[in-house]
Amino acid sequence: MTADSTTVPEHSAGMSDDVSAVSAGTAFWGDIPEKPTDGELVQLRNLLFRREIVLLERLRELQDDQRYTARKISEVLAEAIQLRAGKDPLVGLALEPVVDDVVRTLLRKRRGDFVDSLFPLMGPSIRKSIAETFRSMLGSFSKSMEMAFSWKGLRWRFEAMRSGRPFSEIVMLNTLVYRVEQIFFTHGETGIPLAHVASDEVYAQDAEMVSSMFTAIQDFVRSCFAGGGEGDLESLQLGEYTIIIEKKSQAYLACVVRGTPPVAFREQLHATLDFLLLEYADALAEFSGDTAPFAGAAPYLGDCLSSRYVDDDKKLPWWSKALPVLLILVLACGLGYCSYRENLHAQLRQALMEKQKAFTATMESALNVLRAEPGLLVTNVVSGHDAPWEATVLKDALADTPEAVLQVHGIDPKLFSFKSVPYISYDPEIVARRAKTDITLPDTVTMDFDGKGTLSFKGTASMGWIVKTRDEARSLPGVERVDISGLRDPMMDRISALIKEVEATVVEFVLGKDTPVPQDAPKLQKAVDSLVELEKIVQDMGFTVTLTVYGHADATGTEKRNYEISQARTRTVAAMLYARGSAMPIAMYGMGAVYPKDGQPAAPAQNSGQGDQASRRVELRVHVMRSAAADPESLLLSQP
């Protein structure tokens, strides 16, 4: 009991202290009566309220336990804040500085975590907005501006200056992958365009004429190449334009495209055409020239107008867009690298071009060497970036081979593969060569070709050779005239001398007889000798001598007798020649007394009874002709 009583007061004392301490601040404890101090009352209280006192004691302990409080508050905290926040913004305001501080601290200490966790939320939207900004910026600056800072740009600007085309067009041509510029939806039979669209950048020609022309071309191709069947033209290449045709029997789509469109484009056309044919099936069936029902087709065509430039899909890495600074840095680096690469490329290309140019120059100069070579004619060259080039060369049999010609000029003949075709060259050099090979000259003759068609000979040779050679020379291709005036046959001199001698011979005859007067007999003998010699010489040359003998009488005696005697005198000469074995044809003319010597009219006989001796004579004329007698060339040898 005592033990109990002793413990309780201690507790109660403690409790009372605390109670008084608290009571000062709170009404809750304020009107609690004083603890009894009288011993018996205390005893009674303990007896009666022991249980309550202990309970109270426990409650007080709980009240003092902060962890308990926290636990208790925690149970209602959320609801409490919710309640309060619904009433006024004070919770937020109260929390703000605290949260502010906390976040600040956390940001400072654990930045990485925040970026990591925030980025997935914000990144995409940042990226999008930056991309948007850049796109419009690029758009407004235009591609030209962008190009202005690159090597490529400079080069294009230069190209524009050189070609006189606008810079924008050069840029377009260089960056364009493809652009669908116009689309015609055209009626198959008539070629009349039912609908037509053109991209904004394009100046469109009269649609009806263009479209009709396409149809005409298809008709033409079909009738020419497909044997009238239904083989259809699918595309046409016209310089930098491709015309793509998607065709069904009732109508077709023709697209004018610059560059090379992707494969998918054809599929798109195919689908569009199918759709249009279905949509306008009735209108097409009834078509008679009125295109009004097809007005609605244009937008579908418009969907097919598309284009792509080389740079369109060059994507920059995402992070470079997340941070503008970085982006600019990357851009700068990128541009730097690009221009470096461009520069490198440009240099390489330059070097390549230079090499190509040098190569082409070599080839050209080689061809020029061949062109300058007599007897060779370069007719066709298939050139390329590499050797060998194929060259077709007409070659005279007397010309050097093209390979040899190149070799002589120090050019590698393997640069070409030659196809040579024989031909006859009229090049003076070759004609001269031809004359040299075809005509064998004796040591005594020189030959010269003047380059203008005249081949001339100088020196001495036999007449036979001269004639033969002249004929040969005339038949040489490229020789138009043969000049043999510088040629002399030494034998000719002898022939001329003999002829002259014979023709100068006049033999006088005894009155009334066919025998020469004694003093002229040796003259006649000599003339006969000369004729025999002449006959022998010309025979060797393929010629014949013909002799004409004129016999004359003087005026003495009858006319009849005079004819007889003059005839008999010519026979004397002939008989002498035949006696010498000559076979020459001899024409004998007895002229009577009609031609007295010196052209004197026939005079009466003189008193001497000797008549006119000078008129009793024979005269000789010689002709030399080619053995084939009818040849007028014989005149060549008759001497003046």
Partner 1 sequence: MISKKICMLGSFSVGKTALVARYVHSIFSDKYLSTVGVKISKKNVSSGGKDFSLILWDLEGKDLYADVNLSYLRGAMGFFTVADGTRKETLEAALELRKAAHDTVGQIPGYLLINKEDLSDAWEVTDAMLDNLTRQGIKYFRTSAKTGLAVEEAFTSLARDMLQNA
Residues interacting with partner 1, by CB under 8 A? 187-193, 206, 208-209, 212-213, 215-216, 219-220, 222-223, 228, 288-292
Distance CA 511, CA 625 (A): 36
Q: How many CB atoms lie within 10 A of CB 553?
A: 32
Task: Please report how close the Cβ of residue 186 comes to partner 1 at its closest, in angstroms.
Answer: 11
Q: For residues 182 and 615, which CB has a smaller minimum distance to partner 1 in the complex?
A: 182
Residue number, 298 or 415, with CB nearest to partner 1: 298
CB of 145 to partner 1, least distance (A): 42
Give whichever of 107 and 216 is closer to partner 1, judged by the CB atom. 216
Closest contact distance (angstroms) between CB of 201 and partner 1 is 25
Least separation, in Å, of the C-beta of 216 and partner 1? 5
Q: How far is Cα 337 from Cα 345, in angstroms, rounded to an integer?
A: 12
Structure token digits, residue 517: 């007067």
Long-range contact pairs involving 276-279 (C-beta distance under 8 Å, separation at least 24): 276/185, 276/251, 276/300, 277/248, 277/250, 277/251
CB of 248 to partner 1, least distance (A): 15
Pick the closer one to partner 1 by CB: 212 or 539: 212
In the DSSP assignment, the letter for residue 584 is -
Minimum gap (Å) between residue 292 Cβ and partner 1: 7
Contact residues for 217 (Cβ-Cβ < 8 A; gap 6+): 233, 236
- Kindly tell me which of 126 and 298 has the beta carbon lying closer to partner 1: 298
CA 409 to chain centre: 28
Instruction: Between 194 and 573, name the residue whose CB sits nearer to partner 1.
Output: 194
Residue 479 C-beta: closest distance to partner 1, Å: 44
**What is the nearest approach in angstroms of partner 1 to the Cβ of residue 287?**
9
Mind spelling out the 3-state secondary structure of 394-454?
EECCCCCCHHHHHHHCCCCHHHEEEEEEECCCCCHHHHHHHHHHHCCCCCCEEEEECCCCE
Nearer CB in complex with partner 1: 38/286:
286
For residue 461, count CB atoms less than 10 angstroms from its CB and return exposed for 0-12, middle for 13-18, buried for 19 or more.
buried
Neighbouring residues of 331: CB distance < 8 A, sequence distance ≥ 6: 316, 320
Kindly state the smallest distance separating residue 241's Cβ from partner 1, in Å: 18
* Phi, psi for residue 554 in degrees, rounded to 5: -90, 180
**Do residues 187 and 285 make contact, with C-beta atoms less than 8 angstroms apart?**
no
Residue type, 534: L
Please, what is the minimum distance in Å from the beta carbon of residue 192 to partner 1?
4
207 vs 487 by CB, closer to partner 1: 207
Nearer to partner 1, 287 or 543 (CB): 287
Tell me the three state secondary structure of residue 339: helix
In whole angstroms, give the CA distance from residue 479 to residue 473.
Answer: 7
Nearer to partner 1, 294 or 543 (CB): 294
Answer whether 495's CB lies under 8 Å from 538's CB: yes
Rg (CA), the chain: 67
Give 189 or 480: the residue with its C-beta nearer to partner 1: 189
Is 215 or 530 the residue whose CB approaches partner 1 more closely?
215
The kind and range of the H/E element at 7 are: helix 2-23
Shortest approach of partner 1 to residue 188 CB, angstroms? 8
Q: How far is the CB of 203 from partner 1 (least distance, A)?
A: 17
Give the shortest CB-198-to-partner 1 separation in angstroms. 16
Angle between helix 559-579 and 521-540 (nearest 10): 50
- Cα(596)–Cα(296) distance, integer angstroms: 126
Place of tokens 């925690």: 74
User: What does the alpha-carbon distance between residue 394 and residue 392 come to, in Å, rounded to a whole number?
Assistant: 7
* Alpha helix ranges (H) inside 226-262: none
* Closer Cβ to partner 1, 193 or 402, answer by number: 193
Go through the chain and tell me how many residues it has: 640
For residues 390 and 368, what is the distance between their CA atoms, to the nearest angstrom? Answer: 15
State which residue, 223 or 638, has the beta carbon closest to partner 1: 223
Q: What are the CA-CA distances from residue 71 to residues 60, 253, 386 (Å)?
A: 16, 81, 93
**For residue 561, which of 528, 522, 514 has the smallest C-alpha distance?**
514
As measured in angstroms, the least distance from the Cβ of 220 to partner 1 is: 6
